Chain A
Amino acid sequence: MLFNSLNFAIFLPIVFILYWFVAKNNVKFQNVLLLIASYFFYACWDWRFMFLLMFSTLLDYVTGLKMQNAENQKGKRFWFWLSIITNLGFLAVFKYYNFFAESFTKVVSQIGWEISPMLINVILPVGISFYTFHGLSYVIDIYNNKIKAEKNIIDYAVFVSFFPLLVAGPIERATHLLPQIKKERKFDYTKSVDGLRQILWGLFKKIVIADSCAEYVNLTFNSSIEVSGIDLLIGAFFFSFQIYGDFSGYSDIALGTARLFGIDLLRNFAFPYFSRDIAEFWRRWHISLSSWFKDYLYIPLGGSKGGNWMRIRNTFIIFIVSGFWHGANWTFIAWGILNALFIMPSILFKSNRNNIEIVAKGKYLPSLKDFIQISITFTLVTFLWIFFRAENITHAFNYIYNIFSISFFTIPTILSKRLALLITFLMFIEWVGRDEQYAIAKIGLQWNKIMRWSFYLAIAYTVMLHFGSKEEFIYFQF
């Protein structure tokens, strides 16, 4: 069930009404209802993979309790590694097995051995990377004595499979979400309206911006040999907006939906395209994944404590792993490596924490320096997205090579006035609302009711006009 589907538009109000009217203020009933709704939501994709989700949930629930009750460190370690290996094993089989098998075959064929790889014909269970990471953080936190194991299996299962975050995050932490699941939740009008507003903005980003950009992006990336250099460049910039609209739009819908049920999820995006350097970009893009890798990989590896070499090594490791997390393709690994390279100067010169606050805080416009830095960062990020979007490394290099061809100096054919206008509107609203959790969180609150409603209706109307043939969310495949 897609967030941008009629099915979800029916599903959500039903669950909402049952949650607040039938389960009312009884947290146990509310959680049972959320669990049933979440499993139903997941089963709508492929009910068979629901059993994998259930198994993964049960495994981490049991190993969590076993670790807590273990009599000695050895026993605790056993259960810890059982969970880690099993979780990563599922991920490896479903997501990476074919990639490794094919890569191995290519390598051995270089030395003259011809073998045919045994590939498995299985589709990637939607959301596996996300719920596996939920489970891993829970198990690691128990192992490190940061949290106590959850005794109530329903509460734990809701933590893993809460439907707004189930298939594309944000990647939650037990320390943040579990206490909210266990706590009594009462209806809060302001919070619910805020949630609806965030859903509306998420739908705008996904349906209006991302899906519109997708038409042009597909054209340029699928025919990169025939398309002119200038069109390829425009296509690359459109992909920057597509992936931002797609993923941050999804996150906004997820956060807004969770808020309707009285639950606050972790923030996933903080206006990343207004970043002044790559380090700032990575503090603002897919925050829940970046912080996950920081806490569970970068810091355990020693972080930045061991001098420059340690810092360089660890930075490369987390970016390569992060790239690989996105998909079993060398393009994602290249994307990770290039990100590490681009961030390296600021790490070596210790300027990676220069830009913590949002740009031009409290001002209408950025300074010239800020503007130049934002433009450079955005261009670099766009360059990196080419690797992310390309079919393979050769495709990515060809795409870049073809941009710098003589056809760069021709009149663009894919420049759409409508899309340019919509992107300008998006960036304007995002700029105005950049101090808030999401762009339209406060816009219009001071206006009179007619103005405010007109603003929301205009956005909703634009969204309606951009419905039609549906594009899946890019991040579902991860």
Chain B
Amino acid sequence: MLISLIKKECSMWMKSIVFYAYVIILIVFYVSQLEGGELIRKPEPGGDDYGYIYSDDENIIMNGTLKDLVCDFESERDFATYPVGFYKSVTLSEGEREQLASCISRLCKMSREEWEQALVEYSAGYSVEYDELGRETVEEKVPWPIVVPSDMTYEEFEAIMEEVSDIIGPGNNYEKENLKEHAEVKMTYEQALLEYDNILYKDKVSGAYARLFCDYIGIILGLLPVFFGTARVLKDKRSQVKEVVYAKKAGTAAIVCSRYLGIVIMIFLPVLLLSFLPMSKAVFVAKTAGVKVDYLAFVKYAAGWLLPTVLFVTAFSYAITELTEGFLAILAGMVVWFTALFSSVTLQWAGWNLIPRFNSLGEYNLFLYLRPQLVANRIFYTVLALMLLGLTLTVYALKRKGVLKNGKVSENLGS
């Protein structure tokens, strides 16, 4: 019965304006954001920009972190933190700022007056100029003066940074696992070549394109399924078919799951079909480079990366609409989407955010570094989706028995 009902749900969506609006938005979004994008090319020796990479050099990590900390301390009173994956601004008290200044002093073994004076001198000789293409040229008359002394061990540095992290609070950029992110350095030709080889032989080209595809498509999949969940529940209300369906033999699980899976299929199928476009690009690049492409890369990335988003957003809107029988889910979905979209720490980040980002073509090693948090994130949203589906099942079963009506215990119904 379930399979048969899922097929009927899919065929209902095939006649729905919501579905076609979704497909059009999906295509327009893809064409505007991804079509005609960069192709992966082998780096040429003597180039001036091969991109950036996070260094493993402890000295670079220590000095990069100290520089960012001093800049954060001096430029603004508020620190950005992401305690549960979402942005939270932390304002330090005067006492906490004193403690932080003391940590900086211990890191560079200079008094606060000394490093503040050094900063003033550095700033006086610092200038940025932009050419007609908007490219910036930084001129430093004085090299960055606040550095970690060579006799400081990495363990000592980590201990002080732990204090810094405690002062700012959970989810800050100076936690132990985030320190490497302060060590962004320009790639050398050799590193760029290694990166290129990773794309060809480890990513098999299609993996790199699939990540970029998932990054962009994940943005709209964080919102659009909301309309499907709401539309499906309200369709029953508007068409006055609730009681007819309630009274039928089909179990609550079969009815709710068929509707849920029908939506998920109808959202996910166009995404898979759309992925043929970047896939063809990947095939072209792979053939040009003479390597074998992974034809299933897009399916694997989409299933692991995008499907949990679809599952969660659909379950979220379905549960809320089943409970309230109104448009509240759309409003709530928009709030969740805006929060998720604008709380990403960087464009290569997952955290606990609904919309994980990886806005790069390639950067295989960086992806490997971020993959554990992405996997945890996706499992989290899948589990959350299943819990919401369980809630929907309970609400539907109670409504079917007349215990709940629009989320309220039934009273004063018609005779």
A and B physically associate: no
